[in-house]
Structure 1
Amino acid sequence: MTDPLTGALLAGAVTLVGYLSEHVLTCLVPAFFIAGAIGAFVKKDAILKYFSPDTKKTVSYGIASVSGTVLAVCSCTILPMFAGIYKKGSGIGPAVTFLYAGPAINVLAIIYTAKVLGFDLGVARAVAAVTLSIVIGLVMAAVFRDHDARVRAAAPARTAQADDDGRPWWATLAFFASLVGILIVGASQLPWTIKFPVVYALTLVVAVLVIYTFERDEVTDWAYETWDLTKKIFPILIAGTFALGMLAYFIPPETFAPYFGDNSIGATMLAALVGAVLYMPTLLEVPIIGTTFGYSADLMAGGPALALLLAGPSVSLPSLLVISRIMGAKKTVVYALLVIVLSGLAGFVYGNIVG
């Protein structure tokens, strides 16, 4: 008879091997290269300078809501960046939109969600994260108008223009399109006799573009950004997935079915509340929902899963404590309530439409 510790270790190993074999080569490796390329070739500083309260709302909120695809950060990494733009005179709406959307729209997490938990949930997460980030920012700006008034009084509006890197637009477009093509084809269910030639051809396109249209320093930056993301995220994902497998041995997913097994408003709100309290490093929310809460085994409904995906990466008890020191307790409480309520409602709507 297997003792509990041995059984837990075996369960952790089985879970880890399953995730590695199914998702790493065809999903995470191309995703890390895409995220690294975005981090290296998209001008972050120019983006962050568009957050003035006098900037046109369609520009400031639009940029803030998709910033996570550029920055590829988690909730712990977004906090110092949020503090910087908030203290330098950002409007509170775009700053909060940036704070929420940064981790929620993380390109790695969206891709991983779609691959592991299903395409529908991945798309719903991306669309809802962008939408909720803008709504949360607009509400915060409406509630705390005095903040923007003080910012306007202290400094004039600022604008910024992104630097021109001199590269033909079609080269950058073809570069990113080829990387995304490698990801889509590699993660598809096509036979390897079709996958391999297509992935090989797209890889050659990337190589040619890198050699003839990119500077050596840019390629070095791409490699550095990719490696930096990998070394920060991948070890946590490995250790976390193994630990979740062990946890599932002692607390099976069936435990949570009575709480998250349907798409009721109570289930989705509870999931959003749990997400707002727990700290989940980037990408780890996917195996937590799939394994610990049992979404992959149909023990967790889609509504609570989406609510947890929307609330969990963006806020946590530790991050809320830090945010309160940046913009004050009152603004932090309003922000947290908006995240929980809107994430729960989004999960409820998704669960009852799809379900």
Structure 2
Amino acid sequence: MNESVSVLMNVLGASWAVLVEAAPWMLMGFAVAGLFRAFLPGDLVSKHMGGKGIGGILKASALGVPVPLCSCGVLPAAAGLKKQGAGKGPVTSFLISTPETGLDSIAVTYALLDPLMTVIRPLVSFVTATAAGVSVAFFERFEQPTAADAQAAAAPAACGTGESCCSSESRHDPELRKPVAERIRSGLGFAFNDLLGDIGRWFLLGVLLAGCISAIVSPDMIGLVADNELLSMLVMLVVSIPLYVCATASTPVAAALAMKGIAPGAALVFLLAGPATNVASLTVISRLLGKTSTIVYLATIIVASLAAGLLVNHLYHLLGLDITSWAGTDVHGKSSPMEMVSAVVLLILTLRAMLRKNAHSETS
């Protein structure tokens, strides 16, 4: 009994250390996401993703990088884009780059891992999303149209013009006419209520998983696969593909694995494949894009993740960095008062957002 209590206390202590380290960057990431919401037109993404050319795919990949949505949260947004006339290629790119990264997860990557991985993660996400979009656009010509395709084709005609209803409404976006202070308040409210309510529980779950790994998993256990770079990446791939984990929640888990000796390439595979795939989202994507496109979508993520992992390990070797002790932050180090306060504030805001979301779900 005493041993179980001791293990539980170690897990909670390690989880708290991860939360304290990540909290300031999480708060900053959500604040920036709120400002994006306040000052960017609501249909900015859809306006630049129409058609099936490489231009739309590149824009979708780039615009999806800073948007902080998880793999399930991005599905309704992608479905809306599809209905507004976006091609399968751009929609696929958006489905990958959006959940794999986000302003909040980029900030947490810098806090828990290292500056190099902070740059590599969104860059590889962009390349993977672009490759998948181009591949899906290529194979689209061999696939039978889905019901979603028919709806998307009919959507522009609903206005009786050559453009979609949404694009005509964008010229008169009421949000852009509001006072600056009101827009900032609305954007921050969205970030710290709606957005935090969507991913807050998954972030806390990721923190707890990181605490379990830190307290229970020994370096010897990780060493069973860590010595073989390709095997460790395959293990991360098998674990991450069916798992539901958002980009932010995956970061503390990857950091805990890194502190135990997992190479940056294997950690990157988990950071890329985990947020972009899970069993629930793949079933929806299959209905949205079709079976052939879904297979191409998943295959591209697998191949790109493994290739990126191998290249990243090689890059760390070239830079003279030790891939067994590459994470730049020790989550068990002494915390500053600012970090402690940030952790308490983030925890309170997360619990508040979760309660508001549950209450809204019960009343609706």
TM-score, normalising length: structure 1: 0.75
Unaligned 5+ residue runs, structure 2?
318-364
Give the equivalent residue in structure 1 for 2:54. Answer: 57
For 1:178-257, list aligned pairs within 5 A.
Answer: 215-228=180-193, 229-246=195-212, 248-252=214-218, 254-257=220-223
1:320 aligns to 2:319 (yes or no)? no
**1:158-173, aligned counterparts within 5 Å?**
158=163, 160=167, 163=171
Instruction: Report 1 or 2 for greater relative contact order, CA contacts < 8 Å, sequence distance ≥ 6.
Output: 2
Q: Which residue pairs with 2:308 in the alignment?
A: 346
The code of the aligned residue for 1:111 comes to A
User: What is the SS of the residue equivalent to 2:69?
Assistant: coil
C-alpha displacement at 1:142, in angstroms? Answer: 0.7
Quote how far apart the aligned CAs of 1:37 are: 1.0
Q: CA RMSD in A?
A: 3.1
Q: Which moved more, 1:334-343 or 1:146-155?
A: 146-155
Q: For structure 1, which segment, 238-247 or 214-223, has the greater mean C-alpha deviation from structure 2 after superposition?
A: 238-247
CA–CA separation in structure 2 for the residues paired with 1:296 and 1:271: 15
Letter in 1 for 2:192: W
* Aligned mates of 1:234, 1:354 — CA distance in 2: 32
Please tell me whether residue 265 in structure 1 is matched to residue 230 in structure 2: yes
Please tell me whether the aligned partners of residues 12 and 241 of structure 1 are also in contact (alpha carbons under 8 angstroms): no
Q: Which amino acid aligns with 1:290?
A: A
Instruction: Give the C-alpha shift of residue 99 in structure 1.
Output: 0.5
Shift in Å, 1:227:
1.5
Match of 2:43 in 1: 45
Counterpart for residue 171 of structure 1: none
Matches within 5 A, 1:109-188: 109-146=105-142, 158=163, 160=167, 163=171
The equivalent position to 1:296 in structure 2, one of 259, 268, 271, is: 259
How far did 1:108 drift? 0.8
Count of aligned positions = 303
- 1:11 deviates by 1.8
Task: Answer whether contact 1:92 1:140 (CA < 8 A) is retained.
Answer: yes
Between 322-331 and 72-81, the greater mean CA deviation after superposition: 322-331
Q: Is the 8 A contact 2:66 2:101 kept in 1?
A: no
Partners of 1:103 and 1:313 within 8 A in 2? yes
Q: CA deviation at 1:273?
A: 3.6
8 Å contact 2:244–2:278 — kept in the other structure?
yes
Distance 2:23 2:171 in 1: 35
In structure 1, how many angstroms separate the alpha carbons of the residues matched to 2:37 and 2:274? Answer: 23
Q: Which runs of 5+ in 1 are unaligned?
A: 167-212
Letter paired with 2:106: I
Decide which of 259, 263, 268 is 1:306's aligned counterpart. 268
CA distance in 1, matches of 2:219, 2:78: 36
Distance, in Å, in 2 between the alignment partners of 1:148 and 1:300 is 43
Change in 2 beyond 3 A, CA 1:217/1:304: same
1:159-192 Cα deviation digits (max 9, x unpaired)? 85965989xxxxxxxxxxxxxxxxxxxxxxxxxx
> In structure 2, what is the Cα distance between the partners aligned to 1:334 and 1:94?
14
Shift of 1:9: 1.6
| Aligned-partner residue type, residue 137 of structure 2 | A
Q: Deviations over 1:245-282 (max 9, x none)?
A: 235544445423322444x3343344234322221134
Does residue 16 (structure 1) correspond to residue 12 (structure 2)? The answer is: no
- Partner residue in 1 for 2:2: 2
CA contact (8 A) 1:39 1:70 kept: no
Output aligned runs, 1:23-102, within 5 Å.
23-25=22-24, 27-53=25-51, 57-58=54-55, 60-102=56-98
